[in-house]
């Protein structure tokens, strides 16, 4: 079958995690705002602590909300797409990687940006560079592992397969594979 006629496999986020991220980030900001307003009344001897805590909550809530913001839009629905096959590829938005060029693929935190402190991303190493696909913490790790094992792993190079398998203990990988094949 021609690659242009293959339908991409969509790896989607979980709505529960999107809602949880919104409530968490906006909630911290609102709680900080409430503490700040209470501190300005100076009705307690702890008002100075309210002021500091409120400012911290507002700043942290705003930063995390802005970082999570794309997860609350249409962009957060499908994290990435996979086209299977020897000439298959993995793509998300403007980022596109041929499966045969992947040296390493993992999901983890990184130091490439401020987002890396708060969020896990999919990190794909190729011969020339590192491609980072943001997950906004709304893609559970088991879903990512399942997508890689069932749709990408069979087409990886031997080096990339060894790297993927080395991320897990034998027991972990066996348990994941059993679970994946039960649910398919």
Domain final residue pick, 52, 72, 92: 72
pLDDT tens digits for 13-59? 999 999 999 999 999 999 999 999 999 998 988 999 999 999 999 99
pLDDT at 184 over 90: no
My answer on whether 96 and 151 are in the same domain is: yes
My answer on whether 45 and 95 are in the same domain is: no
pLDDT tens digits for 99-155? 999 999 999 988 877 788 878 999 999 988 999 999 989 999 999 999 999 999 999
Cβ density class 149-166: b for 16+ within 10 Å, e for less: bbbbbebbeeebeebbee
Q: Does residue 6 fall inside a structural domain?
A: no
Query: Considering the entire predicted model, what is its pTM?
Result: 0.83
My answer on whether 84 and 23 are in the same domain is: no
Domain final residue pick, 51, 72, 93: 72
My answer on whether 89 and 55 are in the same domain is: no
Q: Does residue 1 fall inside a structural domain?
A: no
My answer on whether 106 and 142 are in the same domain is: yes
What is the helix (H) or strand (E) element at residue 28, kind and residue range?
Answer: helix 15-41
Could you tell me which residues come within 8 angstroms of residue 184 by beta carbon, excluding any fewer than 6 positions away?
A: 150
Domain count across the chain: 2
In degrees, rounded to 5, the angle at the alpha carbon of residue 138 between the alpha carbons of residues 56 and 168 is: 110
Banded model confidence at residue 4, pLDDT cuts 50, 70, 90: low
> Could you tell me if 79 and 92 are in contact, meaning their C-beta atoms sit under 8 angstroms apart?
yes
pLDDT at 1 over 70: no
The conformation of residue 74, written as its DSSP 8-state character, comes to: G
Residue 176: the pLDDT is: 85
Specify the residue for token string 């559970």. Answer: 140
My answer on whether 169 and 118 are in the same domain is: yes
Banded model confidence at residue 61, pLDDT cuts 50, 70, 90: very high
Three-state secondary structure call for residue 58: helix
- When pLDDT is averaged across residues 167-171 and rounded to a whole number, the result is 90
Sheet containing 104-108: order of strands: 104-108, 121-125, 130-134
Residue 114: the pLDDT is: 78
Q: Distance between CA 140 and CA 147 in Å, rounded?
A: 11
Least confident of 41-45, 48-52, 159-163, 179-183: 179-183
My answer on whether 49 and 91 are in the same domain is: no
> Could you tell me if 5 and 71 are in contact, meaning their C-beta atoms sit under 8 angstroms apart?
no
Q: Does residue 175 fall inside a structural domain?
A: yes
Could you tell me which residues come within 8 angstroms of residue 93 by beta carbon, excluding any fewer than 6 positions away?
A: 75
My answer on whether 99 and 145 are in the same domain is: yes
Specify the residue for token string 């490439």. Answer: 112
My answer on whether 179 and 90 are in the same domain is: yes
Domain that holds residue 19: 11-72
My answer on whether 94 and 66 are in the same domain is: no
Q: Does residue 15 fall inside a structural domain?
A: yes
My answer on whether 83 and 67 are in the same domain is: no
């Amino acid at each position: 079958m021609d690659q242009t006629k293959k339908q991409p496999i969509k790896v989607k986020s979980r709505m529960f995690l999107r809602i949880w991220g919104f409530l968490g980030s906006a909630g911290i900001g609102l709680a900080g705002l409430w503490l700040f307003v209470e501190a300005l009344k100076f009705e307690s001897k702890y008002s100075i602590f309210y002021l500091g805590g409120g400012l911290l909550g507002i700043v942290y809530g705003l930063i995390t909300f802005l970082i999570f913001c794309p997860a609350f839009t249409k962009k957060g629905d499908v994290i990435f797409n996979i086209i299977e096959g020897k000439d298959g590829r993995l793509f998300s938005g403007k980022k596109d990687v041929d499966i045969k060029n992947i040296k390493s693929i993992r999901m983890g935190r990184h130091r490439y940006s401020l987002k890396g402190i708060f969020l896990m991303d999919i990190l794909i190493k190729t011969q020339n560079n590192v491609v980072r696909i943001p997950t906004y913490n709304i893609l559970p790790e088991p879903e990512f592992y399942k997508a890689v094992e069932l749709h990408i792993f069979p087409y990886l190079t031997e080096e990339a397969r060894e790297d993927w398998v080395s991320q897990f203990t034998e027991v972990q990988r066996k348990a994941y594979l059993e679970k994946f094949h039960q649910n398919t």
